[in-house]
Amino acid sequence: MSSVSLRNIVKQFGTFTAVHKANLDIPEGAFVTLLGPSGCGKTTNLRMIAGLLDPTEGEILIGGKRVNDIPIHKRNLGIVFQNYALFPHKTVAENVAFGLKYRDVPKSDIPARVQAALDLVQLPHVGDRYPKALSGGQQQRIALARAIVIEPDVLLLDEPLSALDANLREDMRVELKRIQDKIGVTTVFVTHDQSEALAMSDQIVVMSAGRIEQVGTPEEVYNTPASEFVANFLGASNILDGQCTVADAHSLSIDTRVFGSVEVAAAKAAGVSKGPAKLVLRAEKLTLMDPAADTTGLITAPATVETVDYQGQTVRYFLRIGDRQLQAINLIDTRPFPTGANVIAAFRPKDCAALPGSST
């Protein structure tokens, strides 16, 4: 059963269309991320699910029930905003209890519910403090406790980690997923950060310019992108123009100027047929090797290192192969290849995907 469904949702602001015919089914208990750049429509979709915006067209269903005309306070949703929206003049316990006061919860039960929520976010002893006495990460946890204490049908998270520093963000995304797994609530998470989406999600909804580009598991959207936009937005990809010369139910053969003929599994080339095609090769799948190395079973091309971007455990190389510049991201044990080095760029055929090409 779908916990949340969007049916042909359109949202217009004057003459500007922010969301174009969005159709989406979010399974019960799933952690689903709306991912995309600023202005792609992800937050607009979240706000329509919440009841903060009305769709121009289409239907929104929660638990199979149409909610277009149901106000936000009657949808039983937990919401965590980017800025947490805690009341500075209320204690932590009062903040967490706020939503319970507007529901049919006996007053005598509220302290225990609040304490259980604080225990869940691992802040059991801060109930009598005020938000200003807490760190950013602690405030984020309190906002989450306030959202889940009401036992919502759906939890909506609007970039809740964006105000945290990088190390704390990584810690909090692990913690947030732990909490979601424990309580099993259907969660819709909005972010523009691909690493958050890949690490936390059961499903990712990639959006661009108000349209849903692809819906799938992290592995599906990363390894088998449905469009050039998805391939470029998630990670670093090399996209090479080519011609599909052979296509059957099992594999396709794509001729490229850079690597010659490459065989691609049909499962990783949806929509590709004979004619123009694009080969998609993730930067971390392209390995740099010494010219004397054994390259048996690999697709290879001689390359020259133009730029070295050292990142500690990994290094990003910008390579020149013929008239093309490609990227490679490799783990390193000692020192990276230097600028100007002549190397072999190599990859396994099973590590690439394909997209339909343009006939123009």
Whether residues 243 and 326 share a domain: the answer is yes
Q: Is residue 15 part of a domain?
A: yes
Whether residues 80 and 208 share a domain: the answer is yes
Tens of pLDDT, residues 229-276 = 999 999 899 999 999 998 888 899 999 999 999 999 999 998 889 999
- Report the distance separating Cα 189 and Cα 80, nearest Å: 10
What CATH number does residue 88 fall under?
Answer: 3.40.50.300
Nearest to 3 by CA among 153, 203, 202, 147: 153
Residue 168 has pLDDT above 90, yes or no: no
Tens of pLDDT, residues 283-311 = 999 999 999 999 999 999 999 999 999 98
Residue 90 in contact with residue 127, Cβ under 8 Å?
no
Higher pLDDT among residues 104 and 44, named by residue: 44
Q: Is residue 229 part of a domain?
A: no
At 326, list the tokens.
């490609």
Among 192, 223, 254, residue at a domain's last position: 223
| Residues near 350 by beta carbon (within 8 Å), at least 6 away in sequence | 265
- Report the distance separating Cα 349 and Cα 265, nearest Å: 8
Nearest to 50 by CA among 144, 155, 149, 143: 155
At 218, list the tokens.
């992290």
Range of the domain at 190: 2-223
Whether residues 205 and 264 share a domain: the answer is no
Whether residues 217 and 129 share a domain: the answer is yes
- Report the distance separating Cα 209 and Cα 254, nearest Å: 30
pTM: 0.91
Residue 1 has pLDDT above 70, yes or no: no
Q: Is residue 231 part of a domain?
A: no
Report the percentage of the chain scoring pLDDT > 70: 99
- Considering its fold, how many domains does the chain have in total? 2
Tens of pLDDT, residues 309-325 = 998 889 999 999 989 99
Among 189, 223, 257, residue at a domain's last position: 223
What CATH number does residue 250 fall under?
Answer: 2.40.50.140
